[in-house]
Copies of this chain bind each other. A is one copy, B any other.
Amino acid sequence: MKLEILPKSESLDIQKTIISKIGDLINYKNLEPGDKLPSERTLSEKFGVTRSNVRDAIQKLELYGLLYSIPQSGTFVANIGVTAMNGMIEDILRLEDPDFKTLVETRILLELKTVRLAALRRSDEDLEKIKSALDAYSKKVLKGEDAVQEDLLFHLAIAKASGNSTMNNFMLLITPKIITNFEKYHVCDKSLANQGIEEHMAIYNAIKNQNSKLAKQKMKEHFNVLYQYCYNIKMSS
C-alpha cells in the first residue's frame, strides 16, 4: 500500500495561482480600467492550465467586481485602477474561510439592523408574511416538534421586510451555514422553545407597531439567550 500525498483541494490552489498571475499580468502590462485582458485561450496556454480553470478564476474576479466579460468580445478590467486591483487581489487570496464565530457575529450585526429597518419600512404585505412565519413557528413548537426551519424563515422574513436587498442577500448566505452548524454541535435544544415564541412575538409586535427601537431591543434579547449561549459552548469546546 502506497502512501500518497493528497492533492487537498488542488483545484482551489490552482485557482488562487491563476488569480495571482492575472494580477501580475495586469501590473506587468500596466492594464488600466477598460483595457482588455488576453483571451482565455491565451491565458490558459501561458499559465499552463486548462481553459476551464481560467474561466473559473475570471468568474471569481467578476464576482468581486474586478473584471467583467462581454460575450463575444473579451474580458476587461473593471473601473478600478492597478493599485486597488493589487490590494484587492491580495485580500481575496488571503481571505480565510468563514468560521462559526464570525458567522454568528455577522448575523447578529445584520439582524439588529434589519429588524430596525423592517420596523421602519415594512409594508402590510411584509407584515403578513412575518406573521404567517411566526404562526408556523409557534404551531410547530406547541406541538413539541423541532422548529429550527420555521425559526429560520421567521428571521429571513424580517430581513426581506427590511427593504435592503444587500443585507437580505447576506442573510440568505450565512443563515443556512449557521443552522447546519447548530445542528452539528447539538447546542440549541428545544428547552428554550417556549421562551422563543414569546420573544418572536415581541419582535413581531414591535415591527407591527413600527417601533424600531423596541424591535431592535427585543431582537437583542432574543440573541442574548440563544446565541450567547451557543457562543460560549463553542468557545469552551
Contacts and interface: CB of A to CB of B under 8 A. Distances in A.
A164 B79 contact: no
A102 B167 contact: yes
Interface stretch (A17-25, A59-67, A188-196, A211-219): A59-67
Contact of A92 (B81, B84, B172): B172
A156 B80 contact: no
Determine the main DSSP class of A at the interface with B: helix
Given A84-B152, A88-B172, A160-B91, A106 B166 contact: yes
Contacts of A172: 64, 88, 91-92, 95
Contacts of A153: 83-84, 87-88
B165 A80 contact: no
A45 interface: no
A61 B140 CA distance: 26
A45 B163 CA distance: 38
A159 to B, nearest CB: 8
27 contacts: A64-B173, A65-B176, A79-B179, A79-B180, A79-B183, A80-B149, A80-B179, A83-B150, A83-B153, A84-B149, A84-B179, A88-B156, A91-B160, A95-B165, A95-B168, A95-B169, A98-B165, A98-B166, A98-B169, A102-B163, A102-B164, A103-B166, A105-B164, A105-B166, A105-B167, A109-B167, A170-B170
Given A64-B176, A78-B176, 6 more contacts: A63-B173, A84-B152, A87-B149, A91-B160, A95-B172, A98-B169
